[in-house]
Structure 1
Amino acid sequence: MSLSTDFESMFDLAPVSLWLEDYSGLRQLFDRWRAEGVEDLAAYLKADRQRVGACMAALKVLRVNETTLRVFAAADQDELLANLGRIFRGDMADGVIYELEQLWRGELLVENQTVNYALDGRRLDVQLRVRILPGHEGSWGRVLVSLDDITARVTAERERAQSSQYASGLFDHSPVSLWVEDFSAVKRLLDDIRARGISDFNTFLKVHPEFITRCIQEIRVIDVNRETLRMFAADSRKMLLENISRVFRDEMQDSFSEQLQDLWAGKTQQHREVINYSLNGELINIHMQFSVLEDHLAEWDLVLVSLMDITARKKAEAYLEYLGKHDVLTQLRNRTFYTEELNRLTRKGPWPVSVLSIDLNGLKQINDDAGHAAGDAMLRRVGEVLGKAVEAPAWPARVGGDEFAVLLPATDERGAQVTCERILSMVDLNNQFYAGRSGQPLSLAIGMATCEFGDSLESALLRADKAMYRAKAVHYDAQGVERRR
């Protein structure tokens, strides 16, 4: 077999699409345009796209190999050449201009990624190489064009890009705050102290609180989403990250200490409620979910943190808790709280415990004469007096319609007397303030009792009630009216 025959066999059996072409007509067209004064071929072709068609028409296909027929779904070369308009079409125009411009500049080898179409309609992404063969540099009479079908690779890359764009969109437009962080430096710090023989990490943090601050400083924020900027009142990612110490402060130290202890114990997925602050100073209650991504467990260099703003829920819970233990009208504690506190003091003290039993004098008469709205106003005034006169750890409570009580832990008889005097003094101030606004002055009947350790607190309550009723009887006797229960 001759060398020429070998080359022909190699051409036909090559695993890539090969085209042997004659570009001499294109060379003559270029020469004519140069003579006419054309200097910028790309601009010249873009000004009139029909000129691109003229360039393509000047190319002559001499031969294609078997791979070309298979790639382009052609039965034979005649069918292929008769349908070149179906192969070279659509979105390949800009690529053709680029290739023609390279030839115009004298390049003997032109490479480009472009798009062709098979005769069955399939879109083909191809890697194109145009080589003017040696000995034909002057005429361009023989040019070898190779087309490598890279459709599968380009499709995979496109799908990866679309998937990445989709994931990026989900991240950026998520309705919860998302943070992508690098905890690798934190892991190195934990590994270092473990290597130094530290086993009781909780005690270590108590002795070295600066270690917590150091770990916080070593966290690197890679990215945050839009909801994060909105939640923390930041105009930009740069603004947020430059002020991160204003976001994670105060109570965050304790919660991050707990987070470090979980990480020390190997818990790389965590959730807890924490407190952060927006850049405008507002406290934000947050439910945090922390997860080291599975492929990064060795280094902790990719961590996803989601923060959900639960401030509204916390406020609602606090309000419901408030309602459960407070009297809405007087803003004092209610009977539920009073009963719970009474039970707690009965079990644990601290002793002695003193009790004030208080009753609003004349409420029924006020309700009968001026209406319940006037009676409610008097009850609110009692709430104002007791709320100002009684100091923690004692708590005043409304335990009935016109009945109030004050439990005084760790308070003896003298302390109870001081509290009683303070209440009566506050009643006088209240009456002065409301003088002329209400026809009825505020009047309270107060009974006191003290319970020592080992005595019955229930008995003290009964003594305080009896004392209160005696004070109430004295009030009505002084008023010259019959007491009505």
Structure 2
Amino acid sequence: MLKLSPDMATADTTDARTDAMMFDLAPISLWLEDFSAVKALFEQWRAEGVISLREHLRGRPERVAECSRRIRVLKVNQRTLDLFEANSLDHLVAHLDKVFRDDMLKTHIEELSQLWDGHRSFASHTVNYTLSGQRLDIQLKGQVLPGYEESLERVLLAVEDVSSRETARRQAAQAEIYARGLFEHSPVSLWVEDFSSIKHLLDDVRRRGITDLRVFTDVHPEFVERCISEVRVIDVNQHTLDMFGAASKSDLIAHMGAVFRDEMHRHFREQLIELWNGKLFHQREVVNYTLGGDELHVHLQFSVLPGREEDWSLVQVALTDITARKKAEAYLEYLGQHDVLTKLYNRSFYADELNRLERKGPFPVTIIMVDLNNLKLVNDQLGHAAGDTLLRRAGEVLAKAVDRPSCAARIGGDEFAILLPGVDVAGGQAAIENIGKLIELNNQFYSATTLSVSMGMATSLAGERLEQVVKRADFAMYQHKRGQGVATPDA
């Protein structure tokens, strides 16, 4: 029989003591456990015909708990006692139901299944709890010790506390959900786009010695078209889909040509010039179009996102629909320049236009003064509603008689003026004849009253003030009126 020398026996004792110290002083939680009773339970279930432990345990938490109760904790180190707030091994074992509960039973299925499938090492991410109830996110790794592969009597588990990491991950996930919610449910249209290709195009133009992008795009308008084609839409929110009438993000992206067209090209060119000049944040009012073709006036805010200033690979565009405001402004502007009853321009616009023509022409300017005959008589005999109808009819005729840049205006109760820039005497006479024909046509549709006007025309002479032209046209109109005599309204 072989006998160990005293030195060898001492060495073995020293190694064992060293191993014990290493186990106890390890900086992570270590557990030495006996899984033999679990192995016996596995054999029982196999005999009963269980093939997949995962399927067998899924939806049966009581059987998972039964497996957990059969595990016998043999030894833990000091780090384990500190982590789980236990005074001793006995204290910890006596309260394992507080440590292993709730979420842990779900992940325990994976650990057991790996052993069931014949693996001698296993790993999982699970949740434990300290004895005071504090949640611990755990990264667990287990290893069956050599010589115990069949019995599973000795299994070493390393438990790493990853609570800080997982808390940070959950917070980041929650922040992402929160940010996504803000993006998706924002009451304004939000776009995330990639402008990196546009930056490359602008940089290439700059390397070619171009210093003024406005002049360059005047000469090469196709460059703006090229840049528009290089915009890559990464994401849009729900409000964008609703605003542009798109069924989905892919639907919107597939029809970007319908959204960015016509007037939008001029606005996009201004955006390019802003970027060229280093303005990575800018805002302006622009025009887009819905997929149905409706015009959208929007307030655009463009911003290269922080950290992407060098390549413009992420930009955010916020669009606020101001169509209703624009329509209101246009209507107020219309009211400021038009007579509500006749829909012609009003006296204020007429005075401004007269001053503008005085300064800029084109000359000659022909002015026709028009007076509606018998308005007072119609008002007195048939009422003001009939008089208003007569005024509206006069407005319809005069509006149809002139095209821009000519204009017709109501400058008094029954007085009208027509400004014909760049029109000579012959053109003015043709306009008067056209008005006469339109009046005859209009009277065919009305029987209660007859539309009748007196007209006078004058064409500016070289160096003549338009104020004098107005006086001459007014005088000619009154001569016409006196020559006609006073008509009576049809009954």
Counterpart in the other structure of 1:455: 464
Q: 2:249 aligns with which of 237, 262, 274?
A: 237
Separation in 2, partners of 1:228, 1:190: 28
**Structure 1 residue 97 and structure 2 residue 134: aligned?**
no
Counterpart in the other structure of 2:271: 259
**Structure 1 residue 430 and structure 2 residue 442: aligned?**
yes
Counterpart in the other structure of 2:478: 469
| SS at 1:126 equivalent | strand
Q: 2:408 aligns with which of 381, 396, 405?
A: 396
Pick closer, same or farther for the CA change 1:50–1:350 going to 2, 3 Å: closer
Counterpart in the other structure of 1:319: 331
Pick closer, same or farther for the CA change 1:268–1:47 going to 2, 3 Å: closer
Correspondences of 1:65-84 after superposition (within 5 Å): 65-84=77-96
Give the residue type in structure 1 aligned to 2:482: A
Give the residue type in structure 1 aligned to 2:458: A
Counterpart in the other structure of 1:283: 295
Counterpart in the other structure of 1:24: 36
Give the residue type in structure 2 aligned to 1:105: D
Correspondences of 1:301-320 after superposition (within 5 Å): 301-320=313-332
Separation in 1, partners of 2:131, 2:39: 29
Q: Aligned residue pairs: how many?
A: 477
Q: 1:247 aligns with which of 259, 262, 276?
A: 259
Separation in 2, partners of 1:354, 1:129: 98
Query: Shift in Å at residue 364 of structure 1?
Result: 0.8
Deviations along 1:283-337, one digit per CA (max 9) or x if unpaired, are 2222211111121000110011112222222111111111111111111111111
Contact 2:377 2:488 in 1 (8 A): no
Deviations along 1:230-255, one digit per CA (max 9) or x if unpaired, are 22222111121122112111222222
Counterpart in the other structure of 2:4: none
Q: Percent identity, please.
A: 54
Separation in 2, partners of 1:414, 1:37: 110
**Structure 1 residue 161 and structure 2 residue 173: aligned?**
yes
Query: Shift in Å at residue 348 of structure 1?
Result: 2.4
Give the residue type in structure 2 aligned to 1:443: S
Separation in 2, partners of 1:208, 1:450: 44
Contact 1:232 1:278 in 2 (8 A): yes
Query: Shift in Å at residue 47 of structure 1?
Result: 5.5
Deviations along 1:94-150, one digit per CA (max 9) or x if unpaired, are 111111111111111110000000011100000111111111112211111111000
Query: Shift in Å at residue 395 of structure 1?
Result: 0.8
Deviations along 1:60-85, one digit per CA (max 9) or x if unpaired, are 11111111111111122222111111
Separation in 2, partners of 1:156, 1:69: 25
Query: Shift in Å at residue 414 of structure 1?
Result: 2.7
Contact 2:65 2:105 in 1 (8 A): no
Separation in 2, partners of 1:312, 1:480: 47
Separation in 2, partners of 1:418, 1:29: 110
Deviating more after overlay: 293-302 vs 216-225: 216-225
Contact 2:370 2:456 in 1 (8 A): yes
Contact 1:394 1:407 in 2 (8 A): yes
Counterpart in the other structure of 2:48: 36
Correspondences of 1:35-184 after superposition (within 5 Å): 35-46=47-58, 48-184=60-196
Counterpart in the other structure of 1:367: 379
Pick closer, same or farther for the CA change 1:144–1:294 going to 2, 3 Å: same
Deviating more after overlay: 50-59 vs 163-172: 50-59
Separation in 1, partners of 2:415, 2:205: 61
Contact 2:374 2:488 in 1 (8 A): no
Q: 2:357 aligns with which of 320, 340, 345?
A: 345
Pick closer, same or farther for the CA change 1:102–1:303 going to 2, 3 Å: same
Query: Shift in Å at residue 381 of structure 1?
Result: 1.0
Deviating more after overlay: 87-96 vs 1-10: 1-10
**Structure 1 residue 293 and structure 2 residue 305: aligned?**
yes
Counterpart in the other structure of 1:354: 366
Counterpart in the other structure of 2:341: 329
Separation in 1, partners of 2:34, 2:440: 115
Give the residue type in structure 1 aligned to 2:452: S
Query: Shift in Å at residue 341 of structure 1?
Result: 0.9
Deviating more after overlay: 32-41 vs 263-272: 32-41
| SS at 1:472 equivalent | helix
| SS at 2:482 equivalent | helix
| SS at 1:296 equivalent | coil
Query: Shift in Å at residue 42 of structure 1?
Result: 2.4
RMSD: 1.7
Contact 2:100 2:128 in 1 (8 A): yes
Unaligned 5+ runs, structure 1: none
Separation in 1, partners of 2:334, 2:140: 76
Deviations along 1:244-282, one digit per CA (max 9) or x if unpaired, are 112111222222211111111111112122222222222
Separation in 2, partners of 1:165, 1:191: 36
Give the residue type in structure 1 aligned to 2:475: K
Separation in 1, partners of 2:470, 2:58: 101
Contact 1:390 1:423 in 2 (8 A): no
Contact 1:16 1:148 in 2 (8 A): yes
Give the residue type in structure 2 aligned to 1:245: G
Unaligned 5+ runs, structure 2: 1-12
Deviating more after overlay: 70-79 vs 9-18: 70-79
Separation in 2, partners of 1:145, 1:332: 91
| TM superposition score normalised by structure 2 | 0.93
**Structure 1 residue 444 and structure 2 residue 453: aligned?**
yes
Query: Shift in Å at residue 358 of structure 1?
Result: 1.2
Separation in 2, partners of 1:259, 1:50: 65
Separation in 1, partners of 2:126, 2:95: 18
Contact 2:375 2:387 in 1 (8 A): yes
Deviations along 1:372-393, one digit per CA (max 9) or x if unpaired, are 0011111111111111122322
